[in-house]
Structures are given as C-alpha cells and as structure tokens.
A and B are shown apart, each in its own frame.
Chain A
C-alpha cells in the first residue's frame, strides 16, 4: 500500500492510475465535484448514435485534445458497429421474426454485446486516462444515449481551487 502524501503539493500528484475501479468510487466521494461537461449528440448523419467530437473549452486545462477526441471517436465507432445494418443484423432480424421474436428473450443481441464492450472501454479509459486527470466519463447508456457526461473533479488538496471544496485544506492534514 502506498503511503499517502502529507503535503498539499504532493497530494496533487496522487497516483490514481495505480488504483482499481473501486477507487473510482472513492474519487467520486472524496474529491469534490466541480463541474459537469456534456458532450451532445451529432445528428448530421441521421438518427444513429454519434457524439460531437468538438473539444469543450471547460476541459482545456485538464486533458489533451487528442486524447479526448480519440475517446469520442472510438465510442462513435463502437456505436456505429452496434447499429450497422448488414448481414448479421439481417440474419438476427429474420431469425427473430421466425421465432416470433422470442429469441430476444434467450440470446444476447449484437447490440448488447457491443454495449458491454463500450462499458469496458469506458471503464478502462477512466482508469488509465481520465481519473489521473481528475475526470470521470459516465457511460452514455446511463444518460439515455443523449450525452457523454464528463464529471470534472477538483482535488481537495490543491490550493487555489475556487469551486466546490469549502473547508480549509491547509490545517495541517
């Protein structure tokens, strides 16, 4: 177990990236939530699930633009794969029709499989890239596929942060 830093400056370099997912929960509860950034959907290609890759200005100082865009583009690719209309989806659809759609109760559809992949990907991105920067991505599925919600956390120990944490952090912790 790593001994925790005692000074304020050391706390800014907390090694979140060594932690397990359990500690992402701790991140939510221990650091103070400063802001939430919402990435909206991009409807230019129709009703398929696709998010805007425009880099929000609130994240300017928190994460590199390329990392963010990569994440969103990968998510868009996953959703495109889930909603792809092609051989496999036709097969699934015809089979479902022949079995009076009871097959949806028995097997996992391709969409559901891809959603699981997306969830694992988001968890991995959170652990490796976003949590060390004090950010957390919420799976769009939990927000009705409308937005990608990025929670911006302010580290308790960092002095000069103006939002959220109200108590003093300099009282010799």
Chain B
C-alpha cells in the first residue's frame, strides 16, 4: 500500500530526477552502467581479485618469496630425496611430506587471502554522532588532542583510542594498521611473509601455517640428513655423498636457516595463544605486571586449555566489510572524508529526491 500522494508517484519520474545525481540504478537495466560492488570503493590499501573474493594487502611484501621458497624446497625434496628414501625406508615419507605440504600451502593462502577482521570505517552520520558526544567546546577548526575513552572490562580499566582515519573509537584489542590503512580487530601484527595483517579472522590460519611449516621444515631437514647419512654409507664418505646430491644440500641450507626462526615463531605464538594475548599487546606490554599490580590480561580465561580452544577453535566471525555487496544505487560512496560538508542526517541525494517527490505529489493532487 502506498499513501495516496505517493501511490501516484511514477517510479520512472523518480528515476529520471535522480539520474543527474547517480548513474547506477537497480532496475535501470536500460542504463548501460553496471552496479558497482563495495570492494571497488574500499578506502583501505588493499587489493581485490576475483570480483572481491580474494583480498590482499597492497604491499604484499615477500609473499611471492615465501611461496617460491616453500614450493622449491618441497619440490626438490619430492624429486630427489623421496625416491631414495622410499627405496630404503618407507613409502610413508612422501605421504607425510605431501600432507604437510598441502597443509602449509592451503593455510598460507588462507592467511593471505582472508579478511583479517577489518572494521569498516564509520559512516558520516555515525562519525558526526561520536563527534557530538566528545566535542563539547564547539571548536572545529583545530585538530583536538588524541581522544581516549576509558571503559571497564572484567574490572580492568582499558583505554579505547579514537581512530582519526576511521572516525570511530576502536573496540578493545583493535589496532590501526598503517600499511593497510585499516582498523583490524584483535590485531596481532602485519606479516610481510604472508602479505596481510594477522587479526581476529585469520589468526587460526596463521597459527596453523607456522606450526605446519615448522613440522614441514623439520621433517624435510630430518629426511635430508637421513638421506645424507645413508648416501655417505653407500658412497663411502660424506664428501662424496654431498657431491652426489647437490639438490639436497640446497634443501638443507634453506631448512637450516628457516628452522630457527619458524620454530621460534611457533613457540612464541603458542605462548600467546595459551595466554590469550596478541603480538601487539605483548610488544607494548599492555598487560605486563610491571605496569602495576592490578593490571592483568582481562581477556584471558585463566586456563591454558580454554584459552587455546577459544583462540583457535572459537566461532568464526563474519567479514564485516561485505566486499561483494552491491553499492546502493542512489548513494554516493559513503566513506568518511575529512572535508565532509554534508549535513549529518540528510545526504544530498535524499534531499533532491524528496523535493522531487513533493513537487510531483503537489502537482498530481492540485
């Protein structure tokens, strides 16, 4: 049912009146411009592929190097070491290696291509509402000092900082990544090896990646050492063995240098998972006992097993940025700009359409 005055509004009249403000319309298939998706106007420094299904940080760092190193090392292992070891030991060696390799690659790609928990920026209305609540002085010409809000979480005082880029108070454990220019929930760190931030949504993938990579490198290292020993027994001397298997030496060198860092990182992140901390909090010492007797991590469940389960097996939150959603056809991109002059509760397009509605209504009932 429409009101009498609105019943008679021809939708086509509305559409023609809004074509000057917007060129993308939901039912205007006669309009040759296609509907845009939200990822196309995403304000952060990210890259999107496959129509928004895959996302990466704009600076993907050394992700290609990571992939190349893993693939080359594993490739050499399967090509040169596995046949020898299958003959002399067991068929399970390539099987285990294969499983680990698949795990490593899949978890790496998932860490890199998943939205880490990016918070969409505040829309102008929301930003204006927040500004109203905190800015009592009424002065808008100078940039106010950094704003914080203190809240109590589990009887612990936590400061929420205001993000000037995203125009909102950051939720607890959220941090703004300067490389990606996004606020990320439960921000851990920006990892150049995976080319993405590690946050709430992809931390479990990242942890699985480094743990499985630690197993893979240790496994390959062990197998290559075994191969070297068996070969030296066969060839009569270790020098001869080394000369016989140059590819395996390459693997050995790569694994030897990776193992220290990967094992160390896995151990460190296991500690973080068990105490429900993030790298960011650990580095800043947010909850260290040096800060005061009362400060402790308010997010921990005080039980290692529960912490691990909560972090790694907890429910998977949805992506908040809705990158494949369609943009509303009659709105301009509603990202917050620093010079937004629009009145807070009425976008320009709405005003035009309203006036046209009213004019048309007046004319049809006059």
Contacts and interface: CB of A to CB of B under 8 A. Distances in A.
Interface of A: 1-6, 11, 14-15, 18-19, 23, 26, 29-30, 32-36, 38, 41, 43-47, 82-85, 89-90, 92-94, 96-97, 100-102, 104, 109-112, 115, 141-147, 149, 164-167, 171-173
Contacts of B357: 29-30
A146 B126 CA distance: 10
A84 B313 CA distance: 11
A43 B313 contact: no
A143 B123 contact: yes
A4 B365 CA distance: 13
A104 B102 contact: no
A4 to B, nearest CB: 3
B4 A4 contact: yes
Given A143-B123, A146-B119, A149-B125, A47 B299 contact: yes
B200 to A, nearest CB: 9
29 contacts: A4-B7, A6-B4, A29-B353, A36-B125, A43-B172, A46-B172, A46-B299, A47-B171, A47-B173, A83-B315, A84-B315, A85-B314, A90-B313, A93-B309, A96-B316, A97-B204, A97-B313, A100-B208, A101-B106, A101-B208, A102-B106, A109-B315, A111-B318, A112-B318, A141-B318, A143-B123, A144-B321, A145-B320, A149-B125
B342 interface: no
B6 A97 contact: no
Contact of B1 (A2, A92, A115): A2
Q: Chain B contact residues (Cβ within 8 angstroms of A): what range?
A: 35 or more
Given A47-B173, A101-B208, A141 B320 contact: yes
B345 A35 contact: yes
Contact of B310 (A19, A85, A100, A101): A85
B312 A144 contact: no
Contacts of A5: 4
A130 to B, nearest CB: 17
Given A6-B4, A43-B151, A32 B354 contact: yes
B134 interface: no
B154 A100 contact: no
Contact of A164 (B102, B173, B310, B346): B346
B110 A101 contact: yes
Closest 7 A-B residue pairs measured CB to CB?
A93-B313, A4-B4, A144-B120, A100-B106, A4-B3, A167-B358, A144-B320
Interface centre among A2, A5, A15, A167 (most CB of B within 10 A): A167
Interface string B216-227: 000000000000
B196 interface: no
A47 B362 CA distance: 51
Given A23-B2, A93-B312, A100-B103, A173 B158 contact: no
A144 B153 contact: no
